[in-house]
Amino acid sequence: MEQFGRSGQSLLGNRLFLNAALYKQFRDDLQQDRSTVTFDTQGIEFEVNYQPNRNFYATLGYSYTDARVNAPQFEVGNTSLTPAASLTGDSFRRQGVPTHLLNALVSYKFDNGLGASANVVFTSEINNNVEGTLVIPAQYTLDLSVFYQHKRFEARLSALNVTDQKNWSAPNAVYGNESIIADLPFRIEGRVTLKF
């Protein structure tokens, strides 16, 4: 990865931290049909962390990613409307990569170890095939947790996808139209951790 610039700044007596990075990356990738494509990715990332005391912290992160490939990637093509081989041009939006990604987390823990947190993740549209005819829409997930922490013990109860969004993932760009999966709906998970 070629990184153009990175900047970090601590403010308010080390309670607030700001970070930004500008980057560009080129990478060759061998396809299943033995051809090679070049990924050209550039973007910018911002991060803000705020912790005014030991009980509360908040973080906000944003990234803009312009991910392109110089030729259509290999596709199985069983359901593609336009075969990837028939596409022309020298720059295609990369499959499975959102242009915008935003996440935010806030957490508060009382002195007795009891606490709560909330986390939201937002992604913009995601192309899931070379042609750009199959697009996962913009989506978000909100998770809430309550927890209890002690020196050698932690218990956490989490409500995931609280608003029960119908979200989707693109786990395997090679298979394009055939490989979009539904993310899990609203659910509750518990975890207990013991430290020795």
DSSP string, 101-158: EEEEEEEEE-TTSEEEEEEEEEE--EE-STTS-SEEPPEEEEEEEEEEEETTEEEEEE
Domains by residue range for the chain, with CATH: 2-194 (2.40.170.20)
In a 3-state reduction of DSSP, which class is residue 43? strand
Position with higher pLDDT, 29 vs 119: 119
Nearest to 184, CA basis, from 163, 158, 170, 164: 164
Q: Is the overall model pTM greater than 0.85, yes or no? A: no
Q: Give me the pLDDT at residue 87, please.
A: 64
pLDDT tens readout for residues 145-183: 999 999 899 999 999 999 999 999 887 655 555 578 899
Q: Give me the pLDDT at residue 168, please.
A: 93
- Rounded to a whole number of angstroms, the CA Rg of the chain reads 21
Inter-residue contact 128 to 139 (CB < 8 Å): no
Mean pLDDT value of segment 138-142: 98
Residues facing 97 on adjacent strands:
none
Judged by average pLDDT, the poorest of 51-55, 58-62, 94-98 is 94-98
**Spatial separation of the C-alpha atoms in residues 32 and 172, rounded to whole Å:** 13
Instruction: Retrieve residue 74's tokens.
Output: 């290999």
pLDDT tens readout for residues 69-127: 887 666 655 555 555 555 666 777 888 889 999 999 999 999 999 999 999 999 999 98
Neighbours of 96 (CB within 10 A): 19
